Amino acid sequence: MGEHIPRFKTLSAYYEQDGLALGGPHEICVNMRCGDIAYDVVVKQCRTREITAVAAEPIPWTNIQTPLFIIERLLMLFDGAFVPLVRAEFDGSPDGDDGEAEVRQVLARRLSYFDSDLRSSNIPNDKLVDYCDVLTDDLVGKWLYLVEQLDITNQMYLYAMSRSGMPIDIRCAFLIELAEPLIEMCNKERGLFPDLAAKNKPTLKECLDAVIGEFGKVAFAYEMQMGKKAYDAFLSKLKCSRVRIMHIKANQPKDEYLNGLESAFYLKKLSLMYRAILLDLLGVPANLYEKRLRHRVETLDNWFAENHRKL
């Protein structure tokens, strides 16, 4: 007889964070397919959040987690941070399994990128979109495709925004590096940046310039208005900050790179731009989030100016 693998029809997950009252009441149900399995996923919110995934029939407990992970990452794109998972329940076992052992494993094995660094991005300040305004079957289908195409790129972003223990300059360097795959993705899906896409290997600085020019007009409005020479120096600084993790000190560029305060500041701005790009690729109308984006960027610019004066 083979090993018994507990099967369940339903997984419910409960999320909350001390001091955070989410909006609501909201309840949205979407249908999605992961591989050969169809799910109904219900997202409820009223101060706290609950996500329930229901399969058409009982399936292995590891499989029924998949739609949960997909929806959690989409909600993070809207919110700017993950809400901590505090409790989970399996239900609908045809074999009488209570799911308690599986719940312990779900909580213990949770990937570290689900633990957002709230100093870098948090829901009260960084939410761009209310999920109840945009969450549909069609959007989830687009998100499944986008996550598959982005592959490890999206995970790099999530780890950079988490409490991973990495120094802030390394986390910022990871987000700077994302300019290159974003050029590829935007060219594939929107036909943008044809000249760069036609090149065998465009430089990182070229990719940064193109991505910011197309999608960073709000997040990097101040930098783009500094004048051509100053803006070019800013792009070089971003490039050199990424190059630091690729070469030993003797082989690093002699140009300036971001200091600690600048790394913390541009991590936030690059994150906002990355999210805006993905929202655009998903077809979310800009008028649903641009006001919040502008307000957040204005707040960050003022914060940086105040702290920079203190140095």
> Which amino acid is present at 34?
C
pLDDT of residue 309 exceeding 90: no
Residue 297's pLDDT band, with cuts at 50, 70 and 90, is very high
Res 253: pLDDT: 61
**Percent of the chain predicted with pLDDT > 90:** 86
Instruction: State the average pLDDT over residues 99-125.
Output: 93
Neighbours of 267 (CB within 10 A): 25
Phi, psi angles (nearest 5°) of residue 57: -150, 165
pLDDT band with cut points at 50, 70 and 90 for residue 285: very high
What's residue 308's pLDDT? 75
Neighbouring CB atoms inside 10 A of 261's CB total 14
What percent of the chain lies above the pLDDT cut of 70?
A: 95
pLDDT at 289: 97
Residue 82: exposure state from Cβ atoms within 10 A (0-12, 13-18, ≥19): buried
Predicted confidence (pLDDT) per residue in 4-21, tens digit: 899 999 999 999 998 888
Burial of 110 (0-12, 13-18, 19+ CB in 10 A): middle
Check residue 131 and give its pLDDT.
96
Q: Pseudo-torsion of CA 116, 117, 120, 122, nearest 10°?
A: 50
Decide: 121 and 268 in contact? Cβ < 8 Å. Answer: yes
Q: What is the pLDDT of residues 28-69, one digit of tens each?
A: 999 999 989 999 999 999 999 999 999 999 999 999 999 999
Which residues lie across from 15 on neighbouring strands?
A: 49, 85
pLDDT of res. 239: 94
The pLDDT mean for the chain works out to 93
User: Residue 178: what pLDDT?
Assistant: 96
**pLDDT tens digit string along 69-103?**
999 999 999 999 999 999 999 999 999 999 999 99
Q: Which of 160, 161, 200 is nearest to 184 (CA)?
A: 200
C-beta separation of 281 from 190 below 8 A: yes
d(CA 71, CA 187): 26
Cα–chain-centroid distance for residue 96? 37
Q: Say what the pLDDT of residue 145 is.
A: 96
